[in-house]
Structure 1
Amino acid sequence: MDTKSLIINIATTLFQQKGYIGVGLSEILKACDLSKGSFYHHFPNGKEELLIACLHTLNEVITKDIEEIFELYPTTQEATNRMIEKLNVNFETEGTITGFTFSSIISEIASLSETVRGADSDLYSKMQRIYSNKLAADGFPKESAESIELMMKASMEGGIMLCLTQKARNPLKVISQVLLNLLKEFKKIHE
């Protein structure tokens, strides 16, 4: 792995664990065993540029994973259930859900930086497209698909944050059951 990728991987984990403001440059340098000069060689604009690189990397990883799950399963209900199961397994084995959420990273800085907000918006837009396309393939009208996917995304992001703050997987279990029931009911309405 090259130095820049190493910095991004380590910083992403640190940002997810402690938030953007909670991680100082000195902590990143120490964790990467790096000098300031080497860091600024890769990220001349500093920590915010690194954050944006981390968000782009998360964007690719999260989008790819969600696309694979939603392509593998024939219905939105099955794909959503599998995705939440995967989040629960990650939580049980790792005690956290890094890699699937970036809310903890951007919640404190997105309103301060247009560049960070844009990187965040890009990921959410990609997630929306994946969910909406699957819902449309399930026969939901476009307007309904867009509303439902917004509810799905907000529920899952909220569930992840609740799991992290409560150190328990129950919030995602409950959300999984509720989402699946709601999707079944919405499906009945649109048949």
Structure 2
Amino acid sequence: MTTKSLMIDAATSLFQKKGYKSVGLNEILKACNVSKGALYHHFPNGKDELLIACLQALNEGIMADIEDIFSRHLSTIEAAQAMIDKLIYSLETEGTLSGFTFSSIVSEMATVSEPVRHACSALYENIQSIYYAKLVTDGFSNESASALALLMTASIEGAMMLCLTQKSIDPLKKIASLLPNVVKGF
């Protein structure tokens, strides 16, 4: 693992657990066992640039995971159920959704930094595009697929945040049970 990827992995984990503002550069340096010079060599603009790299890495990981799940299932409902099942499994076995969500970073930073807001927006747009493409394949019109993709993104992301704050898998289970009826009723 390169020094840069080590810093991105450690910082991503710290940002997801503690929030961007609560994590100092020294904590990141200590977690990676690197010097301040190494950090600024890879991220000349410091912590903000590192955060954007973390969001891009999350984007790649989340997108690869969602694309894999959606490619293995015939319908949007089946794929969404499989994805939610994976999230529930992660919560039950690991007690966290680290690596699956970035909402905490969005809520903390999206109004503070325009580059961070753009990175977060791109991730949500990418997630919606996968849902959209599958819905169109399922026969939904472009307009309906777009609306449903937005609804799915908001519902699943919101349920993940509720699971974390309630320390319960119930919100994801509820979304999983309601989603088929919502999609069929559209």
Output one character per residue of 1:91-110: Cα deviation in whole Å (capped at 9) or x when no partner: 11110001111111121111
Q: Which residue of 2 aligns with 1:92?
A: 92
Q: Would the aligned equivalents of 1:12 and 1:54 in 2 still touch at CA under 8 Å? A: yes
Look up the match of 1:59.
59
Q: 2:110, 2:185 → 1: CA distance?
A: 35
How many percent of aligned residue pairs carry the same amino acid? 60
Q: Deviations over 1:101-157 (max 9, x none)?
A: 111112111111111111111111111111011001001111011111111000000
Q: Matches of 2:106 and 2:40 in 1, distance apart? A: 22
Partner of 1:103: 103
Q: How many residues align?
A: 186
Q: Provide the C-alpha distance between the structure 2 equivalents of 1:181 and 1:134, rounded to a whole number of angstroms.
A: 17
Residues of 2 paired with 1:141 and 1:44: CA distance?
46
Structure 1 residue ranges without an equivalent (≥5) = 187-191
Partner of 2:160: 160
TM-score normalised over the length of structure 2: 0.97
Higher RCO structure (Cα 8 Å, ≥6 apart):
1
Tell me, yes or no, if the aligned pair for 1:75 and 1:138 is still in contact at 8 Å.
yes
- Counterparts of 1:62-73 in structure 2, within 5 Å, are 62-73=62-73
Contact in 2 for aligned 1:40/1:46 (Cα 8 Å)? yes
Task: Give 1:184 deviation, angstroms.
Answer: 2.6
The amino acid across from 1:141 in the alignment is S
Residue 116 of structure 1 corresponds to which residue in structure 2?
Answer: 116
Partner of 2:136: 136
User: Which secondary structure state, in structure 2, belongs to the residue aligned with residue 20 of structure 1?
Assistant: coil
Q: Give how far 1:37 is off.
A: 1.4
CA distance in 1, matches of 2:62, 2:100: 6
In the alignment, which residue of structure 2 is the partner of 1:189? none
Q: Give the distance between the partners of 1:78 and 1:94, measured in 2 at CA.
A: 24
- Return the alpha-carbon distance in structure 2 between the equivalents of residues 152 and 131 of structure 1: 8
CA displacement, residues 35-73 of structure 1 (integer Å, 9 cap, x when unaligned)? 211211111110000000000001111111111111110
Letter in 2 for 1:103: S
Q: Which amino acid aligns with 2:174?
A: V
Q: Which residue of 1 aligns with 2:171?
A: 171
Cα distance in 2, alignment partners of residues 66 and 109 from structure 1: 24
Structure 2 distance, partners of 1:50, 1:106, is 15
**Uncovered stretches (5+) of structure 2, i.e. residues with no partner:** none
What is the Cα deviation at residue 13 of structure 1?
0.7
2:34 match: secondary structure: coil
Q: Which runs of 4+ in 1 moved over 2 A?
A: none
Distance 1:174 1:89 in 2: 15
Query: 1:35 and 2:35 equivalent?
Result: yes
